[in-house]
């Protein structure tokens, strides 16, 4: 597994060409293939009544192939779109601060969680809410990048989102003002002799920031540690793996399996921090959060408190095209160390507790 190219940004953070003809031959297969695609291109090029930008047409064909798969997490990004995506994984962007996912059952863009302290959080968006329109334009789970792009924009500008709240039958319009947002993905504090570290998402600097906070609480005399992943939608795979590795001295952290049955295992090294752990999760804990949760739970390294996680057990890779664009492709499923396929299923806690304060109180009770 090339950790640098694997992402779980199938849950999108919104705070958010020239392809030479011979490259298309790789399509192959039965039915419509290279010949038909080339024929269609030639017909349009020769017969369309006006001249058109051929690069735009080729880009549209690539985008259409990705969308035709029906996977909300597989998409094409041109160079400009990829630049914006790259901003999101560095933790600096401008938008409204909502994390969302595609819902294959109803094709709706579904809120996973708002980002703490952002316009979306202040407006009361919550896990399970449906985003239907952005500035009057319908958004769907098959075009998550389009939804992301529409909600992003210059700080200070306004955007109107149409939302169907959980449990409601009538959608409402919410006007938000975009902000420049720099994500601090890790924060910590002490509850007596118990350290508490919250991870809000997994970005480029999350693992190193986590190590700093971990060292701080240990230096303050922590004899137990709470890891809070509630509302954490995921992010970069390697960040979650690196954090899991901090607490495991052996064993599997996670493994993936592609359509050819090829498996790739990530395992822990020998060094680890030996401290009692309690993990807090909820339905907004997804993708990379589930990798960390599965690693610690299956290896019996942490007690897991809260609600069942989101259930996103597929992984994406980024592939570079010659025009500077990228194709983000779902390339494999991932499995917890015990071999559990959690996609569309989620991870059950050891103790089911719904109230947030009760979850924290129970964690403190276990560690004191």
Task: At 271, list the tokens.
Answer: 């060094």
Single out the residue in 148, 167, 182 at which a domain terminates: 182
Q: Which residues contact 279 (CB under 8 A, 6 or more apart)?
A: 226, 227, 229, 292, 293, 296, 297, 302, 303, 304, 305
* DSSP character at residue 65: H
Please pick, among 130, 143, 297, 312, the residue that the annotation labels catalytic.
Answer: 312
The answer to the question of residue 135 being in a domain is yes
From 236, 257, 241, 240, select the one nearest 332 (Cα to Cα): 257
From 187, 151, 289, 304, select the one nearest 231 (Cα to Cα): 289
Is the same domain home to 308 and 248? yes
Interval 291-324: pLDDT, tens: 999 999 999 999 999 999 999 999 999 999 988 8
From 294, 286, 226, select the one nearest 266 (Cα to Cα): 294
- Quick check: 132 pLDDT over 80? yes
CATH number at 306 reads 3.90.226.10
Which pLDDT score is estimated for 36?
Answer: 87
The answer to the question of residue 203 being in a domain is yes
Is 340 catalytic? The answer is no
- Cβ-based burial of 73 (10 A; exposed 0-12, middle 13-18, buried ≥19): buried
Is the same domain home to 176 and 212? no
Is the same domain home to 339 and 235? yes
Which pLDDT score is estimated for 219?
Answer: 98
**Measured between alpha carbons, how far is 62 from 326 in angstroms, rounded to an integer?**
10
Is the same domain home to 196 and 267? yes
Residue range 198-204: mean pLDDT, rounded: 90
**Measured between alpha carbons, how far is 260 from 216 in angstroms, rounded to an integer?**
45
Which pLDDT score is estimated for 98?
Answer: 87
The answer to the question of residue 38 being in a domain is yes
Which pLDDT score is estimated for 255?
Answer: 98
Which of the four pLDDT bands, split at 50, 70 and 90, describes residue 32? low
Is the same domain home to 69 and 151? no
Single out the residue in 129, 160, 182 at which a domain terminates: 182
On whether the CB atoms of residues 66 and 310 are closer than 8 A, the answer is no
The answer to the question of residue 3 being in a domain is no
Is the same domain home to 71 and 112? no
Is 287 catalytic? The answer is yes
Residue range 319-341: mean pLDDT, rounded: 94
From 72, 77, 129, select the one nearest 105 (Cα to Cα): 72
Which pLDDT score is estimated for 361?
Answer: 97
Is the same domain home to 104 and 178? yes
Percent residues over pLDDT 70 in the chain: 89
**Mean of the per-residue pLDDT values of the chain:** 87
**Measured between alpha carbons, how far is 100 from 129 in angstroms, rounded to an integer?**
9
**Measured between alpha carbons, how far is 279 from 296 in angstroms, rounded to an integer?**
9
Q: Which residues pair with 256 in a beta bridge?
A: 264, 334
End-to-end CA distance of the chain, in Å?
39
- Quick check: 231 pLDDT over 50? yes
Is the same domain home to 173 and 193? no
Please pick, among 287, 288, 289, 297, the residue that the annotation labels catalytic.
Answer: 287
Is the same domain home to 69 and 109? no
- Quick check: 3 pLDDT over 50? no
Is the same domain home to 243 and 350? yes
Owning domain of residue 207: 186-313+330-367
Mean pLDDT is lowest, of 8-17, 66-75, 240-249, 273-282, for 8-17
Interval 84-114: pLDDT, tens: 777 666 666 789 988 887 777 788 899 977 8
Interval 239-298: pLDDT, tens: 999 999 999 999 999 999 999 999 999 999 989 999 999 999 999 899 999 999 999 999
Which pLDDT score is estimated for 31?
Answer: 54
Q: How many domains does the chain have?
A: 3
**Measured between alpha carbons, how far is 142 from 66 in angstroms, rounded to an integer?**
10
The answer to the question of residue 49 being in a domain is yes
The answer to the question of residue 13 being in a domain is no
From 289, 266, 279, select the one nearest 337 (Cα to Cα): 266
Please pick, among 88, 239, 298, 328, the residue that the annotation labels catalytic.
Answer: 298
Is 298 catalytic? The answer is yes
Is the same domain home to 249 and 138? no
CATH number at 164 reads 2.30.42.10
The answer to the question of residue 227 being in a domain is yes
Task: At 103, list the tokens.
Answer: 């819902």
- Quick check: 238 pLDDT over 60? yes
Q: What are phi and psi of 185, to 5 degrees?
A: -80, -10
Is the same domain home to 117 and 266? no
Which pLDDT score is estimated for 27?
Answer: 38
């Amino acid at each position: 597994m090339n950790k640098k190219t694997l992402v779980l940004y199938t849950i999108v953070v919104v705070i958010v060409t020239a392809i030479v003809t011979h490259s298309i031959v790789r399509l192959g297969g039965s039915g419509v293939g290279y010949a038909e695609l080339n024929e269609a291109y030639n017909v349009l090029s020769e017969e369309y009544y006006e001249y058109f930008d051929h690069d735009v047409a080729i880009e549209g064909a690539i985008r259409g192939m990705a969308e035709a798969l029906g996977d909300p997490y597989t998409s094409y990004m041109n160079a400009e779109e990829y630049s914006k995506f790259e901003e999101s994984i560095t933790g600096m962007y401008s938008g409204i601060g909502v994390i969302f996912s595609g819902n294959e059952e109803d094709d709706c863009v579904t809120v996973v969680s708002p980002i703490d302290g952002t316009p979306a959080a202040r407006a009361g968006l919550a896990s399970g809410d449906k985003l239907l329109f952005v500035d009057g334009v319908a958004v769907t789970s098959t075009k998550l990048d389009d939804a992301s792009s529409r909600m992003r924009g210059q700080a200070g500008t306004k955007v109107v989102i149409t939302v169907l709240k959980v449990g409601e039958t009538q959608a409402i319009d919410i006007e938000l003002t975009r902000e420049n947002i720099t994500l601090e993905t890790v924060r910590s504090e002490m509850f007596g002799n118990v350290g508490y570290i919250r991870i809000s998402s997994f970005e480029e600097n999350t693992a190193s920031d986590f190590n700093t906070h971990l060292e701080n609480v240990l230096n303050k005399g922590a004899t137990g540690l709470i890891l809070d992943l509630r509302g954490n939608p995921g992010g970069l795979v390697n960040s979650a793996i690196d954090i899991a590795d901090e607490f495991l001295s052996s064993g599997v952290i996670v493994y993936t399996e592609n359509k050819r049955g090829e498996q790739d295992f990530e395992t822990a090294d020998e060094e680890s921090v030996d401290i009692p752990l309690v993990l807090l999760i909820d339905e907004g804990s997804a993708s990379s959060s589930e990798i960390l949760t599965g690693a610690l739970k299956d290896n019996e390294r942490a007690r897991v408190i809260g609600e069942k996680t989101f259930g996103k057990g597929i992984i994406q890779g980024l592939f570079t095209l010659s025009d500077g664009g990228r194709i983000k492709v779902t390339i494999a499923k991932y499995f917890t160390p015990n071999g559990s396929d959690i996609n569309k299923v989620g991870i059950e806690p050891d103790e089911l507790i719904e109230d947030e304060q009760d979850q924290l109180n129970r964690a403190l009770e276990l560690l004191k």
